[in-house]
Amino acid sequence: MNTVLSAMAMDYPPEKLHVYLSDDAGAAVTLNGMREAWRFAKWWLPFCKRYGIKCTAPEAYFSAGEDDGDENGGFGGSEFVQEKDHIKEKYEAFKKSVTENARIGDTRSNSRRDHSAVIEVIQETSSDNADAIQANEAKNKPLLIYVSREKRPSQPHHFKAGALNVLLRESAVISNSPYILGLDCDMHCHDASSARQAMCFHLDPKISHSLAFVQFPQKFCNISNNDIYDSQLRSGFKVLWKGYDGLGGPCVSGTGYYIKRVSLCESSISEAGDAMKLRQCFGPSNEFIKSLGQINKPDRMFVQRNNAQPNETQLLASCAYEDGTKWGKEVGFLYGSVVEDYFTGFHLHCKGWISVYCDPKRPQFLGSGTTNLDDFLVQGTRWSSGLVDVAISKFNPLIYGPFKMPTFLHCMCYAELALFPIFYFLSLWGFATIPQLCLLNGIPLYPQVSNTYFIVFSFIFLSSHSKHLYEVLATGSTFRHWVNEQRIWMMKSVTSHLYGSVDAFMKKLGMREASFFPTNKVDDVEQLKRYNMGVFDFQTSRLFLVPMVALVILNMASFVVGIARGIFVGELDKMFIQVFIPFYVIVMNYPIIEGMLIRKDKGSIPLSVTLVSALVSLIFYFFGSIIFM
């Protein structure tokens, strides 16, 4: 509910602000929470407006103890403090009410994948007795709409992209705002002026006609200084996206973007001529088709708020509405990949649209990053699978992009994102196994130290790592973060990128259906404690643990054998690089060794996993020896 409240309190004319919440589970507790949020908003919104509160999420505002009023106009007197305390009491009552509703239970909890559509405009349906909301007060608050689309087991729902397209249709017939902010449920507005900042780009006459969306970076409020899981996604938001911004802009990045409504359906509008073609493209809703002609007419946009008929909104949220239409293919957010943001952004750029990356000093949005290994690897697997879905389809950026995108460099940016899971898992598995197996069998792969070509291999290794270290330091991070990124890169490459790539190929071959596993949004206290201490938590699936542990065991064995060969046989000069590689792997993955051999807490690696991994390493060595002998 903090996400909803923070969006409602944005510094923007309330008659032009409409907040929609998509509840794919159709949970009654969420709908009740929305109603409670609407009641609390009559206290929270005026407070934010009166004192110029920047962080408009009440939980974050009160937890951090921010006195934004002091920073904006000098509101620091007793009146401000008194009202702040009063609002805090109201917020605590609001939280208590929501919590009590959650404890009562959800009568529809067993039908989260099989339920009818529920569309409710909270402003109209909410009713209080003693605490009635006056009509003039309601006018000063944004529309608040709850949307739960129909879901049936027999109908594909297309995960997040399907939910976004339902929101796109519902918002078109209810409010039809020309610009849309996409915000995930674990994010909140940290600066109330983000909409105005985005409009500076969208209304710029030099780029407005071709600008599809403004992307703000994802930043997180729960990341520790150590950031052992690289949850801040530094490489993407601090390096890559800034580079892409000079080539046509970054892709849609899941959340924190202001997208132009017309960019998601303009080409289909122009291609469709008569009413029959429009229906074939956009579906049978006359109200929605009528709204398409009013997207770029702001003078008519807000004459009537919420004039949609209930039957029309139910139709637009039905699971069969998109059958036989171009939704998800050419219209709206695209299907075909679980990373609908990347896929949709790629198609927008292929159609000639551009995007802008805006990274102001104060974070515009803050959220919760992954703080345990399990969520991190599950998330990485999902992203890898979605990216490889695109890479092995007809929309591969290197095949589809050159004929559509203005510059080949921009095309290469998208290709790098789509292909890196495959390249990383292949290269890391080779890096962690082939030199080691050859070392165990006495087969030299690299030039000996006395050979001139030894300098070439050393230069490649040092230059690549120096470049990465420079990027880390240049973006304000530390040497420790560089070590963490190297470590996590190895862990993800041998697990998430491997499984994600395999998953994509299996879907392509028809061996399994697409799936979407959202990361956990609730923190475990013990896991969070270990995370803040900089200690890895290995409470994750054996599918993730066994490859990591097995490769570490293989590298430990090869390093010991390599040192023994150097001491007793005198082959250190010949095998130096092959001895150094497992040493480097061991050093970078010391937390795994610690979890296997030293730690005994709940977050350590179970003995059974260590034994299974040792057996896997032995089998791997046996078959590897047959190949390399």
Cα distances (Å, whole numbers) of residue 383 to 339, 379, 388, 503: 6, 6, 9, 11
Catalytic, out of 23, 341, 374, 375: 341
- Pick left, alpha or beta for residue 256 (phi over 0 → left; psi -120 to 50 → alpha; otherwise beta): left
Structure tokens at 238: 């601090």
Strand partners, 356: 214
Please state, in angstroms and rounded to a whole number, the distance separating the CA atoms of residues 416 and 178.
Answer: 32
Q: What is the DSSP letter of 249?
A: -
Please state, in angstroms and rounded to a whole number, the distance separating the CA atoms of residues 415 and 346.
Answer: 10
- Cβ neighbours of residue 560 under 8 Å, at least 6 residues apart? none
Cα distances (Å, whole numbers) of residue 282 to 20, 41, 118, 246, 264: 21, 35, 21, 34, 12
Please state, in angstroms and rounded to a whole number, the distance separating the CA atoms of residues 344 and 160.
Answer: 12
CA-based nearest residue to 505, from 414, 393, 592, 424:
393
- Tokens 């949020």 label which residue? 37
Which H or E element spans position 321? none
CA-based nearest residue to 417, from 341, 515, 335, 495:
341
At residue 544's C-alpha, the angle toward residues 541 and 546, to 5°, is 100
Q: In a 10 Å sphere around its CB, with 0-12 CB exposed, 13-18 middle and 19+ buried, how is residue 302 labelled?
A: middle
Q: Which amino acid is at 327?
A: W
DSSP letters for 64-81: HT--HHHHSS---SHHHH
In 50-148 the beta strands, taken as DSSP E runs, fall at: 118-121, 143-148
Catalytic, out of 24, 68, 106, 503: 24
Please state, in angstroms and rounded to a whole number, the distance separating the CA atoms of residues 436 and 577.
Answer: 10
Please state, in angstroms and rounded to a whole number, the distance separating the CA atoms of residues 560 and 318.
Answer: 63
Cα distances (Å, whole numbers) of residue 615 to 550, 611, 622: 8, 6, 11
Q: Tell me if 590 sits within 8 A of 520, measured CB to CB.
A: no
Instruction: Answer yes or no: is 573 a known binding residue.
Output: no
User: Does the active-site annotation cover 106?
Assistant: no
Please state, in angstroms and rounded to a whole number, the distance separating the CA atoms of residues 249 and 243.
Answer: 8
SS (H, E, C) 415-467: HHHHHHHHHHHHHHHHHHHHHHHHHHCCCCCCCCCCCCCHHHHHHHHHHHHHH
Instruction: Answer yes or no: is 11 a known binding residue.
Output: no
Q: Tell me if 91 sits within 8 A of 34, measured CB to CB.
A: no
Instruction: Answer yes or no: is 160 a known binding residue.
Output: yes
User: Does the active-site annotation cover 227?
Assistant: no
Please state, in angstroms and rounded to a whole number, the distance separating the CA atoms of residues 382 and 515.
Answer: 9
CB-based burial, 327-346: b 16+ in 10 Å, e otherwise: bbebbbbbbbbbbbbbbbbb
Residues that constitute the known binding site:
24, 160, 184
Q: Residues annotated as binding site for Mn(2+)?
A: 160, 184
Q: Known binding site for UDP-alpha-D-glucose: residues?
A: 24
Residues with catalytic roles? 24, 341
